[in-house]
Chains A and B, each alone.
Chain A
Amino acid sequence: MTYETLTVDIDSDGIALVTIDLPGQSMNVWNEGLMADFPKFVDELIANDDIKGAVITSGKKSGFLAGADLNMLGSSKAETMKEAFEQAWGLNAILRKMETGGNSAKDLLKGKAHAKPVACAINGLALGGGLELALACHYRVCADHPKLQLGLPEVQVGLLPGGGGTQRLPRLAGLQAAGMAIMMGQPMNPQAALAQKIVDEVAPAEDVVAKAKEWVKANPKASAPWDKKGWKFPGGAGSMDPRAVPLYLGSSAMALKQSKGNYEAVKAILSCLYEGSMLPIDTALKVESKYFTKLLSGPQAKNMIRTLFVNKQAADKGAMRPEGVPPTELKTVGVLGAGLMGSGITHVTAKGGMNVIVLDRNMEEAQKAIDYSQKIVDKGVKRGKMTQEKADAFMARITPTDNYDDLKNVDLIIEAVFERPDVKADVIKKTEAVIGKDVVFASNTSTLPITGLAKNSERPDQFIGMHFFSPVEKMPLLEIIPGAETGDKALAVALDYNAKIRKTPIVVKDVRGFYTNRVFPPYANEATMMVAEGVNPALIENAAISMGMPIGPLAIVDETTLQLGYDIMTSTKEEMGDAYVPSGTEDLMELMVKKIDRRGRRFGGGFYEYADDGSKKLWPGLKEHFPLAEDQPTVEEVKQRLMYIQLIATAQCFDEGVVSDPQSADLGAIFGWGFAPWTGGPMSHIDTIGVDNFVRTADMLAQKYGERFKPPMSFREKADAGESFYKAA
């Protein structure tokens, strides 16, 4: 028998070494090819008397098997749920057949039949369907590499491990450990997996195949533990088990606490664990496949896979990079300014393996970038995440200076000085005087238009905007803003740099606030306006959190400070004059900032008051200034307002071309301001709601709350045409 995606070598002991090696792919995954080959191999294993047992391994240096090909999952042609189930059942059926050798559970249990032994030699990362394949083998030997990842991360894209993961993992590791691993989706290393009995043996990488063969040779008759008589669920299971019942109760509560009930996958995983743990394995696997089918046929998994996996990966790999520009080698980056942003940029640049020359007006200021990184690096060493040696090398890459001449050999400049055009103009001139003629100058700004700043540059085609988010080392998004004269090369360099610091980049148009700062303020305003209307502030915050925002909008306003909001409001008013459209929050801002000194957390308090222990609670005085209205809206009404204000602002940006494609809008929303990830982003969410339904609801809200909810014309047209923004999957 020959296969496309794997090779089978039978040794003198009759042990078949199955080496999975997908042609033309850097990584093994369950794709259509492997899905076609593997059942054939299982049949050969069962039927061929020359084969006494098998060892499964990978031919890839990159790992064992990284899961299912998400593009394949997304392209299911099933028309009915039943058909979709038959497809979902495919992988479970093959793996179970391998595990039982095609025998019935009853015969295995009675000892009347056995499967041929199959061991797994895990020689690299095994995630999702990769780990599930391993779990379906009778024995697992894993290479002893501390960074090797074993895990079931499906939940992160809105799915559950549908190849037996929700059933075999708890049957090996117990409900509690398995539940945590599957619901969080976090990988573990081989030693942790060994401790939880998820792998049976850990060995040096070069020995895993030999060890696996040894086991196969010594165990000619195999069956899974759960197919053996007397097997008991480790740690207990079942609705009458006093150890398991608190686990079922507790895990649901914990999952609700974390997911707010927004993630279908989390719920489905809990049900697989709950229901599956009370069933014999064959029925349990079917139940798992049914829940998997439900997830796969719903919008959430499609949205999450598309945005959080497919589009994110494409963006991270530089999908927006102009063609034909050769890659730039970035060895040394000059960072101008060692304030909060400059220090953060310095840190991520050094972390990306580049040297940094960080400049500020004197050495004392420049040194702040060193202190900033030192603190983070020291913490890493203390927690055992970094060796002292690596920490020292890290710090050695950063050179503080107050002398522009030191910048003359840099490959890229990132400017992060004070957000004032005159200050920026000064450093642009001083820097361009020393750097190479072809060095790209990137300006980090969250508000100033790039085209305007580029006017200070001798080489506006090499001038570009980069909007980093604070804290830089934690925030995953980078907004890249080409100005009117920015050339392809500058954009290419910006994306090459981004690839090194491993952020998710979106390329946006040069308008005030760019993309994220166009959408977020209206959202914060809406929450503020509700306070002014007398809506219970706790209801506002809880509504936002329960719809999947990471923290309440009033809490964020406190962090960014009401003072900043007030300053922006004042300058916008001045700038726009008669054209200024009041946001409705002017009186509240005036009161909070000017009259009662509630300017935000940094100033001692705003909407919240802050205790010394770091805890916070809504400022009781708020109710005196903004008495609660007698009729409070329902939480659904508050959620709708807070959701739609973001959807509308995104729609406007899309309409105006601030973001050129729905993918960027979705990525920017989720990774920029923490827009509810379960939606796949605002554009995905509009598609899910249905564009016509979205327009109708927005009109209704506009009538109720004001013109700001009016959807843009192009969305009405889209609705009328019955189209969606993404092509139907």
Chain B
Amino acid sequence: MKISKLKNLWHLPLLLAILVQFWPLVFMISTSFKDMNQIFQASLNPLPLPPTLVNYETVLNNFPFFTFLNNTLFIAIFITVIKLVTSVLAAFAFVYYDFKYKEVIFNSMLLTFFIPFTVLIMPNYLLMSKLGLLNTPWGVILPQLVDGMGIFLMRQTMRGIPKALLEAAVLENASPLQVLYKVILPLIRPSATAISIFFFIDAWNEYFWPLLVLQDKGMYTLPLALQMFISAEGGSEWGIAMAVAMLTCLPPLILYFVSQRFILNTFMQSGVKG
């Protein structure tokens, strides 16, 4: 009995952490359903009484919300698909082939993961400007089509496949591409899905690079549009801002709820030294 009571005590810090992590979200949700009076008079009350949809109505009626949504979707899906392809192909090369400088090349790809983003923005911005891609989705997409972490995670998953399976396929005269899509891809589908979702969430949430590239409001993505509610409205339209915030984080949250087991397992691998 004594042991189990002591064990239960360890739940306290964890519950505290959950409280801290969830409080901001609860506030976002409840504020988005409150009208102006409720926000300022009952800002600590997590329950909007009565809940109102006025903020959401304003967002949908007064702002080109669906334009923002489309822009974000297009960019995020495009990036996800291409990133998946480049990561799978590169990881496959690292798993299937033996070649000179393999480790050096792999490490130099992984290392890009650690390059601070601001170091890259000015030269990439100048390049996009030269190519005339500023203020287009392509300017946002192009520099994000490859991911060191993605290649690392993909390689980790592929390494989990027993070598004999690949060899069995090779003995049957399967070409490298056949080995990839007949053996490897079906076997890594759960992890590859998780990695894609991670790509998608990342691309969806991206704020800084689109901010530099996209100038027209009609081109904005949702995270960028959020900015309009702080600067323009001077911070008084909190309900509307929270409604947009809510809508912005809804797709990632839904994807997370649907696939959290795969996502967590894949992320747990990411710190494993390979």
Chain A complexes with chain B: no
Interface set of A (CB-CB < 8 Å, partner B): none
